[in-house]
């Protein structure tokens, strides 16, 4: 079935965009995600037990062939709720890939997130090296062992706020290989004589760094704090060519502590800019769509195939343009790349039916119903209606075959 | 303990704002909300069973004296996740009161959300009157019977997107008494010759309407759709004086279907503008704070007492200014108005201790620990440390008294 963004399908020209949205939105129903897995990790690196919550994407249970990028969210006890809900919604909208979100709860923040001891501000800082050991040798290996994360190569996003954003920037400056994207929301920059900025000023101009993405957002800072923000923005802009894709965003109406609600949405969208199929690209055909995702892959430094939703758009565009054979080929590819997707098989069935290949359509439709039944998917009733219709067409008046 | 927004407490002048946030943020840990209650309501008005999810605020279990405004969110199957997470986060930040969120799942959207049958666009529209009967006679009475909603008077917020925003505007135009605030996100406006706009154009200029709040957000519309948006904005601006507080917001970079992620955050903030204690108001004392919330109550049309967090801010400001007796009075009021709040009793204990009223401090501190233990609150360990310290101060070297 067609679940795309309103306004992209040729049929939408018959009615206004807003009216089509009336019709289509009933289908855009993300599966309700179950609650997160809660892990209490006995960390040798930290000398304490650390709580972590792992939220899996809506498709995790049924799309058993899929692997996912991972968002490691620091201060997860405060920001996990909105981060999971926002990234899930944006993924359902096709603006992001689905993510596994690992919310790392904090205990003694200033200890873990500062790179030096700086007793004039705090006694007991400088634990960042231990915290890195926790992430790199304990947490991430466990996540990548126990969950279907992207692995060849992996794609790990590190996000933090305030002190934990200071930590994220420290990683970007001093050990950029491990994480691939860094979201720093209102980072604390004044530690130890603005060390977080100085580290980046000296590290980023080096040409031998891996290509990475950095997002930096700041809120209603003024005077000295704003001056530090602008200094950080300059440091990001001074990275060696080709080593850093950076996005800096000011939210002058946001208080420091509330900033991450909007900044995380904005930062994930900036990281995945271009992930949603651009409007009108479906009409340019499959080769143009593949070229788009090849360029996106180069930008992200990780392979991004055309998402199932994008192939679905292209297929329905072709179908609406009476290019049925081409549509069937696109839907066949979508089903072969997403063999557990009930919707991919249902769409293929619709195209095969239009191509008068009724037996194959019945097989594909039956597969859609089987998958939707096995995983109790929200669109199951719609797939069943399509199958009944096909069966009636294949053998009018006959009792429905068991499926 | 002090959980306020960084930068408001006099102690914050000793360190920079950002550094204080390092210290304070570890305390801003909203209790993890449990999952929603799922209700399947057999509706006579709709002739079907309708699913509704009720998400309760973080304090619901322990703040047994509190009652809450209710957000009735249409298309809840799509928008419930981010609406609950965003409103919970903003409430933890003190920008909104805690809300009960009732996510109403949709079935046949165009049937339920359109005020007339308009067969040239859709067969079977015009069911809004039935849907209103469902809300007014079935759903809302059940919610107000089974949950601790605000009741004298109630405060009911109706929010929708696209077709369901069309429905919300229809209610605002034709039956504005029942709901008190209306959030219309990218409403469908072209139904039946722009009837949604025409209804408002004829209704809003009447002077005998109840005072209400309306929020209208639109996305990347252009040409005819944008013209309709602007016509709606003019209709809202033409309301009779004193009958409508309206906020119109354009999100030109947001696609129609994704708009609610940002618009719901923005709309709730617009509705509750002024709810967070304005910066520096604590320094003007309790009378100024009460005057602020009296003005806010008048604007909202519902009583809003100074929230516990605001009283806490004032109390700690007084304490930091060595005005201990006044601080104690403020914390006593906070505890008496929020008798189940462990934090209110813990703060009172701190003030009493500074006032050298050690026996009373011990009683208040013990009450904080009792409540935190009974409800398993995240700050329990901190309250226990405070109690131990007080006990040691009261009887140095003695074994701790049972509590």
Give the β-pairing of A37-43 and B156-161. Answer: unpaired
Residue A396 has a pLDDT of 84
**Pick among A3, A12, A22 to test the B interface (most B CBs inside 10 A):** A22
Q: Given the structure tokens 């904090």, which residue do they identify?
A: A106
The pair of three-digit structure tokens given for residue A253, joined into one six-digit string: 């109406």
Sign of the Cα pseudo-torsion (B128, B130, B135, B137, in order): positive
B25: confidence class by pLDDT, cuts 50, 70, 90: very low
How far apart are alpha carbons B98 and B93 in whole angstroms?
Answer: 10
A106 to chain B: closest CA residue: B26
Nearest to A217 by CA among A289, A169, A152: A169
Contacts of A403 (CB under 8 A, 6+ apart): A366, A369, A370, A387
Of the given ranges (A322-326, B260-264, B282-286), which has the lowest mean pLDDT?
A: B282-286
| A28 → closest Cβ in B28, B78, B121 | B78
Residue A35 has a pLDDT of 87
* Mean pLDDT, residues A126-136: 98
List residues bridging with A38 in a β-sheet. Answer: A53
Better pLDDT: B243 or A21: B243
> Which residues in B158-171 are b (16+ Cβ under 10 Å) and which e?
bbbbbbbbbbbbbb
Residue A399 has a pLDDT of 64
SS3 content of chain B, % helix, strand, coil (to 5): 50, 15, 40
Contact B93 A258 (CB under 8 A): yes
Sign of the Cα pseudo-torsion (B36, B40, B45, B48, in order): positive
> CB–CB of A259/A228 below 8 Å?
no
Residue B397 has a pLDDT of 75
* Mean pLDDT, residues A205-223: 97
Q: How far is A257 from chain B (nearest CA, A)?
A: 7
Residue B401 has a pLDDT of 54
The pair of three-digit structure tokens given for residue B358, joined into one six-digit string: 């050690």
pLDDT tens, residue by residue, A264-275: 999 999 999 999
Whether the predicted pLDDT of B57 surpasses 80: yes
**Residue-range domains of chain B with CATH:** 31-271 (3.40.50.1820), 282-394 (1.25.40.10)
List residues bridging with B218 in a β-sheet. Answer: B250
Contact B258 A25 (CB under 8 A): no
A228 to chain B: closest CA residue: B18
**Pick among A14, A33, A189, A257 to test the B interface (most B CBs inside 10 A):** A257
A261 to chain B: closest CA residue: B86
- Chain centre distance of CA B235: 27
Q: How far is A79 from chain B (nearest CA, A)?
A: 8
List residues bridging with B42 in a β-sheet. Answer: B49
Residue A152 has a pLDDT of 83
* DSSP symbols for B241-252: TTSEEEEEEE-T
The pair of three-digit structure tokens given for residue B76, joined into one six-digit string: 């809840």
Neighbours of A297 (CB within 10 A): 13
Residues of B in contact with A23 (CB under 8 A): 110, 122
How far apart are alpha carbons B383 and B367 in whole angstroms?
Answer: 10
How far apart are alpha carbons A59 and B345 in whole angstroms?
Answer: 45
How far apart are alpha carbons B294 and B305 in whole angstroms?
Answer: 8
* Mean pLDDT, residues B74-96: 97
Whether the predicted pLDDT of B12 surpasses 80: no
**Pick among A101, A255, A263, A379 to test the B interface (most B CBs inside 10 A):** A255
A8: confidence class by pLDDT, cuts 50, 70, 90: very low
Neighbours of B57 (CB within 10 A): 24
How far apart are alpha carbons B71 and A269 in whole angstroms?
Answer: 28
Q: How far is A105 from chain B (nearest CA, A)?
A: 10
Residue A222, phi-psi category: left (phi > 0), alpha (psi -120 to 50), beta (remainder): beta
ipTM: 0.90
How far apart are alpha carbons A63 and A320 in whole angstroms?
Answer: 28
Helix (H) or strand (E) run with residue B214 in it: strand B212-218
A79 to chain B: closest CA residue: B89
Q: Given the structure tokens 């199932």, which residue do they identify?
A: A308
The mean predicted confidence, pLDDT, of chain B is 91
How far apart are alpha carbons A283 and A272 in whole angstroms?
Answer: 22
* Mean pLDDT, residues A326-351: 96
Residue A13 has a pLDDT of 36
Contact B81 A88 (CB under 8 A): yes
| Chain A to chain B Cβ contacts (< 8 Å) | 162
The pair of three-digit structure tokens given for residue A38, joined into one six-digit string: 């809660």
How far apart are alpha carbons A255 and A220 in whole angstroms?
Answer: 6
pLDDT tens, residue by residue, A87-108: 999 999 999 999 999 999 999 9
A251: confidence class by pLDDT, cuts 50, 70, 90: very high
């Amino acid at each position: 079935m067609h679940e795309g963004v309103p306004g992209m399908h040729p049929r939408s020209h018959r009615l206004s965009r807003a009216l089509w949205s009336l019709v289509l939105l009933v289908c855009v129903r993300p599966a309700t995600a179950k609650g997160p897995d809660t892990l209490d990790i006995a960390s040798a690196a930290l000398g304490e037990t650390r709580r972590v919550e792992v939220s899996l994407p809506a498709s995790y249970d049924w799309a058993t062939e899929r692997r996912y990028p991972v968002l490691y969210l620091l201060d997860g006890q405060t920001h996990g709720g909105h981060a999971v809900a926002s990234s899930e919604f944006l993924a359902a909208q096709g603006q992001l890939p689905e993510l596994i979100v690992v919310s790392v709860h904090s205990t003694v923040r200033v200890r873990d997130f500062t790179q030096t001891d700086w007793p004039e501000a705090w006694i007991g800082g400088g634990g960042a090296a231990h915290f890195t050991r926790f992430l790199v040798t304990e947490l991430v290996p466990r996540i990548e062992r126990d969950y279907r994360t992207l692995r060849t190569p992996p794609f790990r996003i590190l996000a933090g706020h305030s002190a934990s954003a200071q930590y994220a920037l420290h990683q970007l400056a001093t050990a950029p290989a491990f994480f691939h994207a860094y979201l720093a929301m209102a980072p604390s920059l004044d530690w130890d004589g603005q060390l977080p900025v100085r580290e980046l000023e000296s590290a980023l101009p080096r040409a031998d760094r891996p290509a990475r993405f950095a997002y930096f957002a700041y809120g209603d800072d003024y005077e000295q704090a704003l001056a530090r923000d602008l200094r950080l923005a300059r440091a990001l802009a001074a990275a060696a060519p080709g080593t850093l894709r950076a996005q800096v965003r000011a939210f002058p109406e946001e208080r420091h502590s509330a900033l991450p609600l909007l900044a995380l949405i904005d930062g994930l969208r900036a990281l995945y800019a271009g992930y949603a199929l651009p409007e009108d690209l479906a009409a340019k055909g499959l080769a143009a769509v593949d070229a788009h995702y090849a360029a996106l892959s180069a930008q992200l430094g990780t392979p991004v195939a055309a998402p199932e939703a994008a192939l679905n758009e292209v297929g329905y565009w072709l179908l609406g343009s009476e290019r049925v054979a081409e549509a069937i080929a696109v839907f066949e590819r979508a089903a072969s790349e997403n063999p557990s997707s009930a919707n991919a098989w249902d769409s293929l069935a619709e195209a095969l039916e239009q191509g008068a290949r009724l037996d194959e359509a019945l097989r594909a439709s039956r597969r859609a119903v089987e998958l939707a039944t096995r995983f109790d998917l929200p669109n199951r009733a719609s797939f069943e209606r399509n199958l009944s219709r096909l069966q009636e067409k294949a053998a009018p008046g006959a009792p429905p075959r068991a499926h």
